[in-house]
Amino acid sequence: MKNLGFTLPGLANFYMHGQWVALGGGLPPAGFNGRALARILCKKHGKRFAAAE
Ligand SMILES: Cc1cc2nc3c(=O)[nH]c(=O)nc-3n(C[C@H](O)[C@H](O)[C@H](O)COP(=O)(O)OP(=O)(O)OC[C@H]3O[C@@H](n4cnc5c(N)ncnc54)[C@H](O)[C@@H]3O)c2cc1C
């Protein structure tokens, strides 16, 4: 089992995150999933990813 992708083929600049595309349910997977997407978007736009607790 693995997460669904963040994007949809043929739909540019669309990103979806949260429990509906993450493995498992509840808030923790939704948060981890959003963090992973933020990291991907930072990389795509040449920005340094930094997260604070
Ligand atoms: C009663 C209840 C108790 C819960 N208790 C816990 C708990 O104690 N601990 C825990 O970890 N988790 C709990 N959960 C689960 C937790 O609420 C979810 O895991 C979390 O809300 C998922 O967040 P999300 O942002 O991924 O999705 P969602 O909260 O479902 O957010 C998705 C959003 O997208 C919107 N949307 C949908 N379709 C469209 C569209 N076409 N266009 C625009 N917007 C759209 C929806 O209106 C919604 O606001 C509970 C859930 C329920 C129902």
Count each helix (H run) and each strand (E run) in the chain, helices first.
Answer: 1, 0
Q: What separation in Å is there between the alpha carbon of 16 and the centre of ligand 1?
A: 13
Per-domain boundaries in the chain: 1-53
DSSP characters over 24-42: S-SHHHHHHHHHHHHHHHH
Lookup result for tokens 């920005």 = 47
What confidence score (pLDDT) does residue 44 get? Answer: 95
3-state secondary structure of 8: strand
6-29 residue pLDDT tens: 999 999 999 999 988 888 888 998
Which amino acid appears at position 25 of this protein?
Answer: G
- Pocket of ligand 1, beta carbon within 6 A: 18-20, 25-27, 30
Ligand 1 pocket test, pick from 6, 11, 19 with the greatest ligand atom count within 8 Å of Cβ, gives: 19
Res. 39 pLDDT band, cuts 50 70 90: very high
Q: What separation in Å is there between the alpha carbon of 10 and the centre of ligand 1?
A: 26
Q: Kindly report the CA angle at 30 between 38 and 26, in degrees rounded to 5? A: 170
Q: Is pLDDT above 90 for 5?
A: no
pTM of the model: 0.85
